[in-house]
Amino acid sequence: MTALAFHKGELMTSEQLAESIRTNPTVIRRLVAKLVEAGLLESFKGKAGGVRLSKTAKEISLRDIYTAVCDKKLIATPDKEPSKQCLVSCNMGKLLDEVVNGIETNSMNYLSNIRLSELTSKIK
């Protein structure tokens, strides 16, 4: 997303984006599909096709990007059954949920306050 913002409206291919972050174009295509679905990217097919931002970089927060591509919480909690004989074990699920929900809320609020344009403005 930062590469697309930096190139301001130019169409970029999955190959170009993959080269930029040194990964496989298939990885990029999977991410692009999610970002298009979320309305953050526009995709153009064909020989001269590619993707570009569908909004300005100032309108896109890091939270927008994160929620578009990530299906999981930031921190996974164990889903094992507690030991019925242990009072601590029986309460850990609830306790950890409170902590993880707090971290998740704070992190999402933090990401909401960072715009894609802020990242690109720091590229020299």
pLDDT at 75: 84
Quote the percentage of the chain above a pLDDT of 70. Answer: 100
| Mean pLDDT estimate for the chain | 94
At 66, the pLDDT band (50, 70, 90 cuts) reads: very high
pLDDT at 74: 82
pLDDT at 107: 96
Domain count, the chain: 1
Closest alpha carbon to 117 in 57, 55, 41: 57
- The answer on pLDDT for 45 being more than 80 is yes
Report, as an integer, the average pLDDT of 79-87: 88
Q: Is the pTM of this model over 0.75?
A: yes
94: domain CATH number is: 1.10.10.10
At 22, the pLDDT band (50, 70, 90 cuts) reads: very high
The residue segments making up the domain with residue 112 are 2-121
